[in-house]
Amino acid sequence: EPEVTQTPSHQVTQMGQEVILRCVPISNHLYFYWYRQILGQKVEFLVSFYNNEISEKSEIFDDQFSVERPDGSNFTLKIRSTKLEDSAMYFCASSPGTGPETQYFGPGTRLLVL
């Protein structure tokens, strides 16, 4: 069964450093998303991406964040200058895009900013 994959599974970085989180969405899906979940809290929407551009973004997704689809398979989230409060689990998701449908979530990247 097709699934969303994410790398790395864990990342530790120093405050102020740039990190890139990578995702491979399900191959025939058209919509891609990033969410984050701070430990023990609810899942929060960051950004959605369709047709090579941002479709929607939340207040969390400020200028420190960017997304890119550098090729036909990868979807990346970049945090330019990490802060302590960026420590969270980051989930990538994708959906087919033919209507209101389930978003399929990847296993997540646990980011720890020291």
CB nearer another protein, residue 106 or residue 113 = 106
Per-residue burial over 6-37, b = 16 or more CB atoms within 10 Å of its CB, e = otherwise: beeeebebeeeeebebbbbbbeebebbbbbbe
CB nearer another protein, residue 14 or residue 100 = 100
In angstroms, what is the minimal distance from the CB of 79 to another protein? 18
CB nearer another protein, residue 14 or residue 102 = 102
Residues that bind another protein (CB under 8 A): 31, 33, 35, 41-50, 55-56, 58, 91, 95, 97, 100-108
